[in-house]
Structure 1
Amino acid sequence: MRDFSFFIPLFLLLSISSFCQEASLQGLVLDENEVPIPGANIKFNTSGTQTNSNGYYFLKIPANQKNTLQITYVGFKNIEVIIPEMEEGQQEELNFVLKTDIEQIGTVVINGNRNTRVEGVTTISPETIRKIPGANAGVENLLKSLPGVSSNNELSSQYGVRGGNYDENLVYVNEIEVYRPFLIRSGQQEGLSFVNSDMVRKVDFSAGGFQAKYGDKLSSVLDITYRRPVDFGASLDASFLGGSASIEDASKNGKFSGIAGIRYRDNSLFVNAKETETNYKPRFADIQTYLTYQFTDKFELSFLGNIAVNQYEYEPITRQTNFGTLSDPQALVIYYEGQEKDQYETYFGAFKSTYKVSENYTAKLIASTYNTQEQEHFDILAQYNLGEVNTDIGGENVGEVEFTEGVGSQLSHARNDLDALIINIQHLGTIKEGDHQINYGVKYTHEDIRDRIREYEIIDSAGFSIRPSSIELKNDQPYNSYDAPITPYTSIRATNSTQIDRFQAFAQWSYKTVIGKAETWFNAGVRTHTWNISGDNIESNTQQVFSPRAQFAIQPDWKKNMIFRVSGGLYYQPPMYKELRDYTGAVIPEVKAQKSTHIVIGNDYSFKIKGRPFSLVSEAYYKNLTDVNTYTIENVRIRYSANNNAVAYAYGLDLRLNGEFVPGTESWVSFSYLKTEENIDNRGYIARPTDQRLKFAVLFQDYIPAIPALKFYLNMVYNTGLPGGSPSYVDPYDYQTRLRDYRRADTGFSYVFKDRNSNYPEGHWLERFKELSVGFEIFNLFDNQNSITNTFVRDVYSKTFYSVPNYLSPRVFNLKIGMKF
């Protein structure tokens, strides 16, 4: 045997010498819109690397010599640049922009995420959206893990932000405002979110202090950009919850491109796992398309279309809910008759034309139409027994009700129909001159809502028909007979035909400069909103508001990469139709716009740990609200008082640490503190329905080093309980109780058979796929019993009410498969 021991020290010496004669490059690879590109190749000679899911790369190159770098990605033009000689150990940041046209590209952009950092905007990777498990997976699923965003209903895509309710959030897709159905009252009825994750290219989210270019809402902005394809592609995903498919392509000359997606959702996996035994037939489906055609280098026309048909058939049979304590276990048993049939059909279409008048001026014209046709029909009779539970472990009747303490019934009836048509036409303009930029826009909206409400509820408890708390009639049975007619506990009858015309305009100025050695960024703007309400049997009413807003950011010349921000202004929310309708169903045209004076102070600290990027984002905020339109929330249904009879405030702190806790993946940990209270009719401050005090959330991605194809995902949220554990008829000043804390963890495992970096020989069964993975998901991993509302029943003996929690979904298992071609 030959002795190679002599060569070992020489080999180590050469290795050390080679290591010391290296320099390093790092940075981002972006597309034309400064969106990070994952999986882009960066090569020199025979070596190289790829960008991670955030578009970040790190590459070592030989020192003291010129190096030629090639940056490539399918569908984009290649970049080839010469890197000048670098000294040993020298580190440089180089960012690259890939384009789809024939223009030769040089280097580069510094700090590609600068705009979102100075504006206080959170950018979420579309790949992360598609991977992270959730009962209602999609963009909103990830939003709920961000600080300041809250939701206690995993089956709903709705969310509240910093003390606001579900109606206070703006949603845009490709600069086009999108809307939600009006009559949804529970999360399991919602079906699909408007946003199709298969088509998403970019997701930006602002939790407050946003610019004047965005519309008039009080809480947040979700700004979605759909992909513009550059070549053929297709995807297919299927699971026990439904499936989705998409197809995309572009013409050879690159002028035409199109992407289309179809989705189907079935929530029966969750509903069948609940305590209520039902016959349940959900049919949630939609189809979307985004088409673009570039007529010339200056003019482009695009179309965004969506058709959604959601049918919800629900026939409850029985329900048993066990509650109470170990020493005093209780159970509510309900037997049902009747059924519910709901249907929501929405049709949406929008054309957007973009004309580049000059290098410094771009003009856009957007026209959109939204129509929703909704019906909510149900007749359900519920007869209940409240009693003690058998606790004899091992006995035949353990868990069953042995002794009945209360009986009663409830009849719910509705014949609600709504048809809403919303038409928009909008002009947007962007003017650039050096470091100055001016954005402006004008918009006209016409809303035509036709609404018919026929809804009542009759409650019988312990043999007595319960009347509304507002009706006071003397009852001295058995001494005198009680012969007053039976009155429904709640009864709403209204027919409304309402038209709303809105004129909106905004102008804002942005400016980047250097003060001393610190980079600074200014933004200031103003919005105006005028609206007129008219309709049958109501007097026409016109109102107008002005909304000034401003942002300032500074990045000091420090070794630490920090940006400080302050933003705020006067924000108004002119009422939509739901906010105009009071508890009786009547439209009140005099309802004012809710007003919020809003200030946000933030800090963005970017740093690296072991060469991996991290950022710590912190924001403190305060809102002072006047002309507040008070409301109640039941599940996801919001009912307004429509009288602007309150003032309110909200303040809090949001923290988020995100980065590559595991190399090549994006994860984050977030924390929120919020306090929001309202003063109704000057009676003193009490908690608002959205007073979610504390929130912790973790979103984590990992893989097994020995088996990198085996991925792990965790989405975990803890929220303290919301107000809402009270009967709907009580005075909130007399009955301030909260629901139990919300605790939920969803986890997923995925095995990737092939991704874009895998190569298989021709004829191999995996060669036809671009990506192929199989996953297993566990929703509500720890089987926590979260509740969304309480049902209140009466004990015939003690004459007291028990609050029985209405539980959300328990632990549920799901299998899924995903593929791209």
Structure 2
Amino acid sequence: MLEIILLLKRYFTANKLFTSLKAKLLLTTCLLFSLITIGFSQTATVKGIILDESNTPIENVNIKSNRDTGTKTNENGFYTIDIPINQDITLVFTHISHKKVESTFNLKNGEVYEFNPVMNNTVEQIAVVVVSGDRRKEVEGVVTLNPETIRKIPGANAGVENLLMALPGVSNNNELSTQYSVRGGNYDENLVYVNGIEVYRPFLVRSGQQEGLSFVNTDLVQNVDFSAGGFQAKYGDKLSSVLDITYKNPYQFEVNADLSLLGGSLSVENVSKDSKLSGIVGLRYRDNSLLVNAKETETNFRPSFTDAQAFFTYKFTNKFHLSFLGNASLNTYDYQPQTRQTNFGTLADPVALIVFYEGQEKDRYQTLFGAFKGSYFVNDDLTLQLITSTYHTTEEEYFDIFAQYRLGEVNNNIGDENLGEVEFSEGIGSQLTHGRNDLDALITNIEHKGDFKINDNRIEWSAKFTHENIRDRLVEWEVIDSAGFFLRPPKTSSNEQPYVPFTGPLEPYNNVRATNNTTINRFQAYAQWSKHSSWGNTDVWYNAGIRAHNWTVSGDGIAPSSQTVFSPRAQFAIKPDWEKDMLFRVATGMYYQPPFYRELRDANGVVQPNVKAQKSIHLVLGNDYSFKMWERPFKLTSELYYKNLSDVNPYTLENVRIRYRANNSAKAYAYGLDMRLNGEFVPGTESWFSFGYLKTEENIENRGYISRPTDQRLKFAALFQDYVPNVPNMKMYLNLVYNTGLPGGSPSYADPYVYQTRLPDYKRADLGLQFVLVEGQKQFNSGWKKPFKELSFGFEIFNIFDVQNSITNTWVRDVNTKRQYAIPNYLTPRVFNVRTTMKF
């Protein structure tokens, strides 16, 4: 911690970005121990629509709190009101033609609660609203993230995934990627839902800088839930985690805009006058040139990442609602490298790699997604849903890049006019890579869901059919010439060049060619039961369920193969009647991951239809301790977990591309400890510290246990929100991540039992400063600021300390073709960004 403070002080002093007083204040916030007594406004929000007995919206209903604040409904019957947090606040709803409604609320900071009372002419309604949503999620082991925090926290790839990296057990060593691994799993083991609809991502993406945009548009988000393991049967068949997103149901007209040097976003939401139709539309554009052009490779780089999303809901009656979720995205990636110089080694023995390039890469990823969800509310206890969705992706990866390299010793004589130049070449050579990869995938789903409540019992069920049709052509080869000698594939017979002539035929160093037309049909179903009960004064919760999954793989030249798996799961939680607020929970279950298309395709690109579902047995023990410190709420969450995996499908990981062996030839395990302390370190804002320990190993073909590619031993992260006391409109957001090095410092073709080299530790700090001109409690009735509900201008520093993190190594041979040098491929250096956000 002391080193961090000194580095921050040195950085701010050298750059003279702040006055000494402000610098000291920012240093104090980074220390996270000196807490300010003056805070942001601490409020929660109650909103909704008020109807009469015939389900007609009521205009001009007066809403008044016992704190003398109030509002009234608009012409559509909608209202919104901010109330103080962590105390009983009574709202009284009155109208000249109806009897009053009186309700009491006790909400947390930043919480948004939807309350839709029905006013009648004869009966007054008085009730105490018990908000139990947070407790229910705690029981399920679900973490809820504040959408406003997601929108404000800085990051090279800001969004929901950026905030997930600050949670324990979640890792990603590439800030340009939205992919993440959870508790030893890989990127393909995470479920993502938006409004209960499973979403997908492109197949062929191989590096973080190609991804562009995540599916989730943060401008549209209302609620974010995340589970890192031991999740219920209602969630699908993946081994690691669930990200459950809920998009907004608008209640008034609103426009949000966000602009920066990395791109921008715009969203518009509204509701019809009769309150039947509501919708929100979002547009996004992103350009990673600012980040990529700061790296050591000089390029002509023309990225273009755009998407449009929409979510509409039409209420035909009070019992039947129909929703539509749509997405269209186009990511184009044009990359023409020119030169690269990477210096590495030590001060005493510096080495440099100089590369001159010819050729280019052109990638295109186009996806279309549409889903309808019909919800029928039979009564207060029974809800039936029918969901249908279609996902279509067309992807192209075309590249021909010729690289000529020179590896040599660097002049390190201070004062010499040739300081820093390569004086002696230890290795020269060239490399030609070629690719023509095309993929066209169409995935269609239809699903029925049900939710029935009876007394303290809740029963949920689902039946789902999925049809997947994937047409794929894979053509990749690589030719390497080192010191005038053509290098053969690494796993062929011994090659003693240049000492002994080799007379065999020439072969590319790597050569993958395959054409697949594959069809997969899936039938999935689940049923689960939940109950809240008590043992005396002790609260207990139960959950038990089972999933079934049958899939059949067929296609051109493929004999149909069908398999079925069953996944029983259970959770139990108990809240003792103790003076201290403690919650204990245990979750266990059998989790299968039936292979998706990428898991069926082996390292040579050939589909293996008999690949089994990977199997994992989860055991999770958790504890939540809620307490008050400095008269403010805090919570310490701890989880111990163990996973036993069998029928594991081994893989290699290079940047974000995964190549499977497709033979279920391994078994594995993972265990660890996750801890998170979150609360109001600064009054009115949520910040947290995270710590994670993980060990995961696999045994491939009974050769013994070695580290898996995701064996991220230690993880520390901190997310902190603060403000400058003398300038209360200046907000500060700090995102710190430290991960120990991953296995992966060896060539992708290497035998993992021979190479267990790890990459360097990943260290990153992103800082955001935001000057707020207009916000919820600070509105203007005149002047140029009048149209704005929110307006702020910000400045962001990515990678404050300019740490040279690396994601992979480039391997270069010396003139003897025997010794190989690992040249790190560095990620983004320190980058500055400006940003403005506004709401109308």
Same structural fold, with TM-score higher than 0.5 when normalized by the shorter chain: yes
Aligned to 1:99: 115
Given the alignment of the two structures, is residue 288 of structure 1 paired with residue 316 of structure 2, yes or no? no
Deviates more, 1:483-492 or 1:421-430: 483-492
Q: How does 1:374-773 map to 2 (within 5 A)?
A: 374-472=395-493, 475=496, 481-762=501-782, 764-773=783-792
Aligned to 1:306: 327
Contact 1:54 1:666 in 2 (8 A): no
Contact preservation (8 Å) 1:28, 1:112 = no
Aligned match of 2:380: 359
Moved >6 Å (runs of 4+): 53-56, 91-96
1:265 alignment counterpart: 286
Distance 1:477 1:720, change over 3 A: closer
How far apart in 1 are the matches of 2:241 and 2:511?
A: 34
String of CA shifts for 1:265-314, please: whole Å, max 9, x gaps. 00000110000000000000000000000000100000000000000000
The alignment partner of 1:733 has SS state of coil
1:319 to 337, 340, 346: 340
The DSSP-based 3-state class of the residue aligned with 1:106 is strand
Name the SS for the 2:780 alignment partner. Answer: coil
SS of 1:497's equivalent? strand
In structure 2, what is the equivalent of residue 146 of structure 1? 167
Q: Structure 1's 319 and 621: CA in aligned 2 closer, same or farther, altered over 3 A?
A: same
Contact 2:103 2:129 (C-alpha < 8 Å) held by counterparts? no
2:128 alignment partner, SS class: coil
Structure 1 position 359, deviation (Å): 2.3
Task: Say if 2:836 is the partner of 1:806.
Answer: no
Distance change (3 Å), C-alpha of 1:506 and 1:30? farther
Looking at structure 2, the residues matched to 136 and 96 of structure 1 have their Cα atoms a distance apart, in angstroms, of 26
Distance 1:257 1:779 in 2: 37
Residue identity matched to 2:247: Y
Note if 1:329 corresponds to 2:329: no
**Structure 1 Cα separation of the partners of residues 126 and 420 of structure 2:** 71
Shift of the 613–27 alpha-carbon distance from structure 1 to 2, 3 Å rule, reads farther
Query: 1:316-348, CA deviations, whole angstroms, 9 ceiling, x for partnerless residues?
Result: 000000000111000001010000000000000
SS in 1 for 2:127: coil
Amino acid at match of 1:99: F
Q: Which of 774, 777, 793 is 1:774 aligned to? A: 793
Name the counterpart of 1:169: 190
Counterpart secondary structure, 1:721:
coil
Report deviation, 1:757.
1.2
2 CA distance for matches of 1:514 and 1:204? Answer: 26
Q: 1:817 is aligned with what amino acid?
A: T
The offset of 1:704, in angstroms, is 1.6
After alignment, is 724-733 or 481-490 more displaced? 481-490
What is the RMSD of the two structures over their aligned residues, measured on CA atoms?
A: 2.5
Letter in 2 for 1:560: K
**Distance in 2, Cα, partners of 1:622 & 1:517:** 31
List per-residue Cα deviations over 1:348-388 (Å, max 9, x = no partner): 00000000112221100000000000000000011110011
- Structure 1 position 611, deviation (Å): 2.5
Aligned residue identity for 1:163 = G
Cα drift, residue 522 of structure 1: 0.2
Q: For residues 213 and 312 of structure 1, what CA distance do their matches in structure 2 show?
A: 37
Secondary structure at the residue paired with 1:567? Answer: strand
Deviation string, structure 1 residues 478-516 (Cα, Å, up to 9, x no partner): 66x534332101101110000000000000000000012
How far apart, in 1, do the equivalents of 2:645 and 2:299 lie? 43
2:240 corresponds, among 201, 208, 219, to 219
Q: How far does residue 610 in structure 1 lie from its aligned partner after superposition?
A: 2.6
Q: CA deviation at 1:79?
A: 6.8
8 Å CA contact 1:30–1:112 kept in 2: the answer is: no
| Structure-2 change in CA distance of 1:385 and 1:92 (3 Å) | closer
For 1:532-562, what per-residue CA distance to the aligned partner results, in whole angstroms no more than 9, with x for missing partners?
0000011100000000000000000011111
Task: Give me the whole-angstrom Cα distance separating, in 1, the residues matched to 2:67 and 2:295.
Answer: 60
Residue 811 of structure 2 contacts residue 821 of structure 2 at CA under 8 Å; is this kept in 1?
A: yes
Name the SS for the 2:353 alignment partner.
strand
2:107/2:131 contact within 8 Å kept: no
Residues 563-593 of structure 1, C-alpha deviation per residue, up to 9 Å, x if partnerless? 1000010000000000000011100000000
Name the CA distance, whole Å, in 2 between partners of 1:134 and 1:580.
Answer: 34
Moved more, 93-102 or 626-635: 93-102
* 2:820 equivalent to 1:792: no
CA distance in structure 2 between the partners assigned to 1:475 and 1:801 by the alignment: 15
CA contact (8 A) 2:266 2:282 kept: yes
Instruction: Look up the match of 1:815.
Output: 834
Partner SS for 2:378 = strand
Counterpart CA distance in 1 for 2:585 and 2:432 is 54
Quote the residue 1:44 is aligned against: 66
What CA deviation, in whole Å up to 9, does each residue of 1:725-779 have, x standing for no partner?
Answer: 00122211111110000000000000000002113233x1111100000000000
Indicate conservation of the 8 Å contact 2:48/2:251, yes or no: no
TM-score by length of 1: 0.90
1:27, CA displacement in angstroms? 10
The one-letter code matched in structure 2 to 1:57 is: I
Q: Is the 8 A contact 2:646 2:666 kept in 1?
A: yes
CA contact (8 A) 2:653 2:748 kept: no
Partner Cα separation in structure 2 for residue 469 and residue 370 of structure 1: 39
Q: Deviations over 1:760-800 (max 9, x none)?
A: 233x1111100000000000000000000011111226941
Q: Pairwise mapping of residues 115-130 of structure 1 onto structure 2 (< 5 A)? A: 115-130=136-151
Contact 1:168 1:220 survives alignment (8 Å)? yes
Q: TM-score, normalised by structure 2?
A: 0.88
d(CA) in 2 for partners of 1:377 and 1:384? 22
User: What amino acid sits opposite 1:781 in the alignment?
Assistant: I
Distance 1:93 1:266 in 2: 37
Q: Is the 8 A contact 1:43 1:71 kept in 2?
A: no
1:101 and 1:295 map into 2 onto residues whose CA distance is 19
Distance 1:492 1:45, change over 3 A: closer
| Contact 1:130–1:197 under 8 Å retained in 2 | yes
- Kindly provide the CA deviation profile for residues 671-699 of structure 1, in whole angstroms up to 9, marking residues without a partner as x: 00000000000010000000000000000
Gaps of 5+ in 2: 1-41, 50-62, 72-80, 120-124
Partners of 1:97 and 1:108 within 8 A in 2: no
Task: Look up the equivalent residue of 2:437 and give its one-letter code.
Answer: N
1:57 paired to 2:85:
yes
Taking only the aligned residue pairs, the percentage that are identical comes to 63
Deviates more, 1:486-495 or 1:365-374: 486-495
Q: Give the secondary-structure state (helix, strand or coil) at the position aligned to 1:579.
A: helix
Q: Which residue of 2 aligns with 1:297?
A: 318
Alpha carbons of 1:105 and 1:113: their partners in 2 closer, same or farther (altered >3 Å)?
farther
> Aligned pair in 2 of structure 1 residues 803, 715: CA closer, same or farther (>3 Å)?
same
| Alpha-carbon distance in structure 1 between the residues aligned to 2:399 and 2:139 | 50
Separation in 2, partners of 1:307, 1:678 = 39
Equivalent position of 2:16 in the other structure: none
Residue type of the alignment partner of 1:400: E
Moved more, 248-257 or 544-553: 248-257
Residue identity matched to 1:601: L
Unaligned runs of 5+ in 1: 1-25, 34-40, 61-66, 84-90
- Per-residue deviation, 1:215: 0.3
